[in-house]
Amino acid sequence: MKILRYDRLDESKDSVINKPRLSVLPNGDQILNITDICPKTLPFKERENYKIILEMVEKNQMDTIIFPSLGKLGYNKLNILKIIKEFDDKGVNVSFEKENIKTKNEDNSSNTVIYSILNFLISLFQNEDEIRKQRQKEGIEKARLKGNYKNVGGKKPKLSIDQFFKKEKNLACLNELKKGNSIRKSAINSNLSTAQALKVKKFAEASGRL
């Protein structure tokens, strides 16, 4: 059995914790431990180790991925479900310790009950997400007509977008992102928190800078 255990932490004083580490179970099975240091709001597919995990799965180097809990995959329910289905469709047994959920049975056959629930929830949350986006779009349009909408998210900002990117660290972070660096690496190189780097990325994408 080829097992990968994934975790996410907000921060860590251990400088090597985000690097792959091997551990051994009592039965002799080896587990590759991978940890991302990032905000929980950062989508799983934008995290530093996602591409590494996906590559290992596609090369058949991993057949089981263990998560401590569903929350380690992010906060967006629809995205979480889609990621689970993506790995399950590739033949990987996705397991969540806290919720005691596995997408495969002991004989490696699909857990049809979990799979049915998964597809149902994806459809449900996808519909909710589309309704939310439509309502948000309608709300923004109404605010624009009234002259109240002036920035990303419809909230009155402390700084304009231009002022935001005139700040030295924010601009440095933007340049790092333009180089193709990850959120975490861009944050480190520009001396910002990962949360602020994520904000820089979102503002840059919304304003056409990235």
Checking if the pLDDT of 157 tops 60, the result is no
Q: What is the pLDDT of residue 34?
A: 92
Q: What is the pLDDT of residue 150?
A: 55
Q: Which of 61, 95, 111 is the last residue of a domain?
A: 111
* Distance from C-alpha of 193 to C-alpha of 199, rounded to nearest angstrom: 10
Is 210 inside any structural domain? Answer: no
| Domain enclosing residue 63, as ranges | 3-111
Is 36 inside any structural domain? Answer: yes
**Which domain CATH number covers 29?**
3.40.50.1390
Looking at the fold, whether 89 and 178 belong to one and the same domain comes out as no
Quickly count: other Cβ atoms within 10 Å of residue 33's Cβ: 16
Is 117 inside any structural domain? Answer: no
Cβ(129)–Cβ(92) below 8 Å: no
Give which of 67, 4, 5 is closest to 40, Cα–Cα: 67
Q: What is the pLDDT of residue 154?
A: 46
Lowest-pLDDT range of 63-72, 88-97, 140-149, 177-186: 140-149
How many domains does the chain divide into? 2
Partners of 93 in beta bridges: 64
Q: What is the pLDDT confidence band of residue 16, given thresholds at 50, 70 and 90?
A: low
Lowest-pLDDT range of 19-28, 40-49, 51-60, 143-152: 143-152
Q: What is the pLDDT confidence band of residue 147, given thresholds at 50, 70 and 90?
A: low
Average pLDDT for 1-6: 87
